[in-house]
């Protein structure tokens, strides 16, 4: 019977160092291998020329470097690409490549499915299946970077499938690899973690030494409406969430982002805008106004452009920083709230080299 080999992909430098030390190997080998994997994009031990020949030959018997095995691509007319990754057990996750004015942004998933049951999000209709491993989180970046051949720095938003804060331990390990050298070498300011409002884990994330930027999916200004749209509000109401945001150690020049999906005749009235202004009056923040992305299977609709502009103008008059964020990739089901949307014309399957 073949012994299952340990996967080095997704291990932090501390975990890999401990593994090598347990074999009696020199601990700095871990740093060398991490550099080969994430900086030079070499995943065959035979190509790691600064390792002793004996080690290069013995490692394949004990370990492997295995990223996400394969994916399909669905390209949008706006240049964004939805990647559908096939996981073990016939499960799938999705990630989005978005070319922006200031560089590349990658929207990543943290779970297969989602347990949050937000009524305006198609991913929530899947229910929760499982958490992703650190290897599966960073594997999305590794595969897309190899496919599109872009270099650091780039931006990461944890806004894909799942609630990142319900996979906190693996999320923190992934952030360590995204920000470490050797690793992807990103500034924590280039990573945004979006949450539906899990207060306990939000405060735990605030204790991490490499704090990413925080985005709060708010979407309502009364508990009654937020309870309907986002059942997480039944556990932590709006006031508890706002108080937790005030406790986060946000750097002086940074701001918390509040995401507000504008839904026609649901949360887009002048009264909603006034309540939002009052809620955020004493928080250093900015607001992303996201016009609802209409999707088959969800009954909500996008407000008229004039209504969106009036909502934005009210925030402007109150000097609350805001942006109307028109989502990319709507034609291939890659926009905010659309991940897990079936795509009628599947792109070709592609093997991933990691």
Q: Report, as residue numbers or ranges, the catalytic residues.
A: 94, 336
Phi/psi for 208 (5° steps) reads: -75, 145
Q: How far apart are CA 319 and CA 83, in angstroms?
A: 38
Secondary structure in 3-state letters for the chain: CCCCCEECCCCCHHHHHHHHHHCCCCCHHHHHHHHHHHHCCCCCHHHCCCCCHHHHHHHHHHEECCCCCEEEEEECCCCCEEEEEECCCCCEEEEEEEEECCEEEEECCCEEECCCCCCCCCHHHHCEEEECCHHHHHHHHHHHHHHHCCCCCCEEEECCCCCHHHHHHHHHHHHHHHHCCCCCCCCHHHEEEEECCCHHHHHHHCCCCCCCEEEEECCCCCHHHHHHHCHHHHCCCHHHHHHHHHHCCCCCCCCEEEEEEECCCCCCCHHHHHHHHHHCCCCCEEEEEEECCCCCCCCCCCCCHHHHHHHHHHHHHCCCEEEECCCCCHHHCCCCCCCCCCCCCCCCEEECCC
Residue closest to 171 by CA, chosen among 206, 141, 138, 143:
138
**Tokens 């005030």 appear where?**
246
């Amino acid at each position: 019977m073949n012994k299952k080999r340990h996967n080095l992909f997704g291990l932090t430098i501390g975990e890999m160092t401990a593994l090598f030390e347990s074999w009696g190997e020199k601990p700095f080998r871990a740093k060398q291998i991490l550099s080969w994997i994430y900086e030079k994009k070499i995943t065959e031990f035979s190509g790691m020329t600064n390792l002793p020949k004996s080690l290069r030959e013995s490692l394949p018997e004990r370990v492997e470097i295995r990223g996400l095995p394969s994916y399909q691509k669905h390209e949008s007319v706006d240049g964004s690409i939805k990647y559908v990754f096939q996981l073990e057990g016939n499960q799938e996750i999705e990630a989005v490549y978005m070319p922006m004015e200031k560089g590349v942004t990658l929207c990543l998933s943290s779970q297969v499915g989602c347990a949050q049951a937000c009524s305006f999000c198609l991913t929530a209709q899947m229910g929760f299946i499982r958490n992703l491993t650190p290897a599966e989180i960073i594997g999305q970046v590794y595969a897309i970077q190899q496919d599109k051949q872009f270099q650091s720095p780039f931006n990461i938003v944890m806004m894909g499938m799942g609630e990142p804060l319900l996979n906190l331990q693996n999320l923190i390990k992934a952030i360590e690899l995204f920000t470490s050298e050797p690793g992807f070498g990103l500034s924590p300011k280039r990573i945004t973690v979006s949450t539906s409002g899990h207060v306990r884990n939000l405060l735990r994330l605030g204790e991490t030494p490499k704090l990413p930027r925080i985005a709060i999916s708010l979407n309502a200004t009364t508990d009654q409406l937020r309870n309907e749209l986002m059942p997480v509000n039944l556990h932590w109401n709006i006031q508890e969430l706002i108080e937790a945001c005030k406790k986060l150690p946000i750097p002086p020049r940074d701001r918390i982002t509040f995401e507000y999906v504008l839904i026609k005749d649901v949360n887009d009235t002048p009264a909603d805008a006034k309540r939002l202004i009052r809620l955020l009056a004493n928080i250093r923040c900015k607001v992303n106004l996201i016009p609802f992305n209409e999707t088959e299977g969800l009954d909500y609709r996008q407000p008229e452009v004039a209504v969106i502009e009036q909502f934005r103008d009210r925030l402007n008059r109150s000097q609350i920083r805001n942006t109307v964020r028109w989502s990319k990739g709507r034609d291939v089901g890659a926009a905010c709230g659309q991940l897990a949307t079936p795509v009628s014309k599947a792109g070709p399957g592609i093997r991933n080299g990691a």
